[in-house]
């Protein structure tokens, strides 16, 4: 695997086609995801949904259905694949005669397993790079869709597209360019029609959501009194919804960020519930040392690649080189949660005064935990300023 985890054409899918395979630090194949997968419904419920969609596809003479989702409307991917689409591009492809496929470029830290990819029951999951975050992406979400349709023999057939209201024009153009012989037809009514009739299991889940909503309203209403702010009422309502318990010894990562007038911050802290073990403490200490070493050298004129090597060096000297996350170093923030300057491994960015980014060098070990101090950092004329005011150490 390349040291910076860039895409490489390493595996063939289909006859005669070499398809780029996304390389990640944490394995995300179906066997790797299965131990972590907890579906809200039995598998039979998802099989029923796919069968219902295929029944409608046959009635409308479609060789495949392509359903697009994003955080603007994540419903199709949630319904079919049990995957929560985020800020990127997520597709579900349902061919008539082969298993469904999920393609997404919504990858936190460039890692599928950081993006709840383990929630989907699909065997076939194909991540992709996101335009604007790598210099020369070797694959794309639309490209993965096109490959899947070719493999299914549907590249010259009628293909239904659902999610047309939010499908970016650029992405649709890429699909048409890659599949010039296909006939694309709108299939929003097809999929929304299947989703409209709720199964008994869905009705039970909706009852739960409605009941929780009722408790939130009761908590908020009990809070309302002269002089109480709207934000205090909202906080009480959310408190009723987010009651969570932890067990002693758990390693916990909190990742939260406020949005003020559309401007985003991103802050994370790691800790252990109760007293950390010696190895947990050494792991967390190294994560903090990575962060502080980079922060001390971040200033105008500093090359991001050099700062990445600073973090990697700290990890390797501590014996945690195998746990270092190449794509988890950070990202620019502003009016979007992910913007320039790029902090990905292949970046050419040089820091300038006024740059603001989320700095988050991290260690991750499967079945052990994560060590990550993430801070929203401003590059000043003289150095780097952490902006949150939150302490770095909580262990």
pLDDT per residue as tens digits for the range 272-310: 988 999 999 999 999 999 999 999 999 999 999 999 999
pLDDT digits (tens, 9 = 90+) for 27-49: 899 999 999 999 999 999 999 99
More confident residue, 169 or 335: 169
Q: Give the model confidence (pLDDT) of 101-135 as tens digits.
A: 999 999 888 888 888 899 999 999 999 988 766 66
Query: Is the confidence at residue 59, as pLDDT, over 90?
Result: yes
- Identify the CA nearest to 89 among candidates 80, 81, 77: 77
Highest mean pLDDT among 107-116, 246-255, 361-370: 361-370
CATH class (in words) of the domain with range 251-386 = alpha beta
HEC readout, 288-346: HHHHHHHHHHCCCCCEHHHHHHHHHHHHHHCCCHHHECCCCCEEECCCCCCECCCCCCC
Is the pLDDT at 222 greater than 90? The verdict is no
Question: Mean pLDDT: which of 85-89, 199-203, 309-313 is highest?
Answer: 309-313
Backbone angles phi, psi at 137, to 5 degrees: -60, 130
| Residue 26 pLDDT | 86
Q: Which two tokens stand for residue 107?
A: 């990858």
pLDDT of residue 218: 82
pLDDT class of 245 with cuts at 50, 70, 90: low
Calculate what percentage of the chain has a pLDDT beyond 70: 92
For residues 217-230, average pLDDT: 85
pLDDT of residue 87: 87
CA 288 – CA 372 distance, rounded (Å): 7
Confidence of residue 17 (pLDDT cuts 50, 70, 90): very low
* pLDDT score for 13: 43
Residues contacting 89, CB < 8 A, separation 6+: 68, 70, 104, 105, 106, 130, 141, 142, 168, 171
Q: Is 379 helix (H, G, I), strand (E, B) or coil?
A: strand
Q: Where are the domains of the chain?
A: 8-196, 203-241, 251-386
Among 20-24, 42-46, 202-206, 226-230, top mean pLDDT goes to: 42-46
Q: Do the domains 251-386 and 8-196 match in fold?
A: no
Write out pLDDT tens, residues 132-162.
Answer: 666 667 789 999 999 999 999 999 999 999 9
Give residues with Cβ within 8 angstroms of 311, minimum separation 6.
290, 291, 293, 294, 324, 329, 361
Q: Are 295 and 384 in contact (CB under 8 A)?
A: yes
Per-residue pLDDT for 181 more than 90? yes
pLDDT at 19 over 70: no
Output 210 or 318, whichever has higher pLDDT. Answer: 318
pLDDT at 133: 66
pLDDT band at 5 (very low <50, low <70, confident <90, very high): very low
The CATH number assigned to the domain with range 8-196 reads 3.40.350.10
Indicate the average pLDDT of the chain: 88
Phi, psi of 225 (to 5 degrees): -160, 160
Bridge pairing between strands 18-21 and 64-69:
unpaired
Whether 338 has a pLDDT exceeding 90, the answer reads no
pLDDT at 20: 66
Question: How far is residue 78 from each of residues 39, 86, 102, 121, 194, measured CA to CA in Å?
Answer: 11, 11, 11, 11, 14
């Amino acid at each position: 695997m390349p040291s910076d985890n860039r895409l490489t054409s390493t595996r063939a899918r289909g006859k005669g086609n070499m398809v780029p395979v996304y390389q990640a630090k944490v394995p995300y194949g179906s066997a790797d995801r299965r131990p972590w997968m907890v579906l809200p419904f039995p598998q039979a419920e998802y099989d029923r949904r796919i069968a219902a969609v295929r029944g409608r596809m046959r009635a409308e003479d479609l060789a495949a259905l392509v359903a697009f989702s994003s955080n603007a409307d994540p419903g199709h991917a949630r319904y079919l694949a049990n995957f929560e689409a985020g800020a990127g591009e997520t597709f579900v492809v349902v061919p008539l005669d082969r298993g469904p496929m999920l393609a997404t470029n919504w990858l936190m830290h460039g890692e599928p397993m950081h993006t709840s990819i383990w929630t989907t029951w699909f065997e076939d999951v194909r991540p992709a790079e996101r335009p604007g975050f790598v210099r020369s992406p070797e694959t794309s979400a639309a490209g993965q869709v096109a490959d899947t349709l070719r493999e299914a023999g549907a590249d010259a057939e009628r293909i239904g597209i659902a999610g047309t209201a939010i499908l970016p024009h650029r992405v649709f153009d890429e699909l048409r360019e890659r599949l010039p012989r296909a006939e694309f037809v709108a299939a929003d009514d097809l999929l929304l029609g299947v989703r409209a009739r709720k199964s008994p299991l869905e009705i039970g889940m909706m009852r739960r959501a409605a009941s929780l909503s009722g408790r939130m309203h009761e908590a908020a209403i009990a809070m309302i009194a002269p002089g109480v702010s709207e934000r205090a009422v909202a906080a009480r309502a959310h408190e009723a919804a987010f009651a969570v318990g932890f067990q002693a010894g758990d390693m916990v990562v909190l990742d939260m960020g406020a949005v003020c007038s559309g401007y985003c911050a991103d802050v994370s802290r790691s800790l252990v519930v109760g007293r950390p073990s010696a190895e947990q403490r050494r792991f967390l200490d190294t994560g903090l040392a990575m962060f502080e070493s980079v922060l001390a050298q971040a200033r105008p004129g500093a090359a991001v690649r050099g700062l990445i090597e600073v973090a990697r060096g700290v990890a390797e000297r501590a014996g945690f080189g195998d746990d270092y996350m190449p794509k988890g170093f950070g990202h620019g923030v502003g009016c979007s949660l992910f913007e320039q300057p790029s902090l990905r491994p292949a970046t050419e960015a040089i820091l300038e005064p006024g740059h603001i980014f989320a700095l988050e060098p991290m260690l991750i070990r499967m079945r052990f935990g994560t060590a990550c101090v993430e801070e929203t950092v401003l590059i000043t004329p003289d150095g780097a300023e952490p902006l949150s005011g939150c302490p770095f150490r909580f262990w």
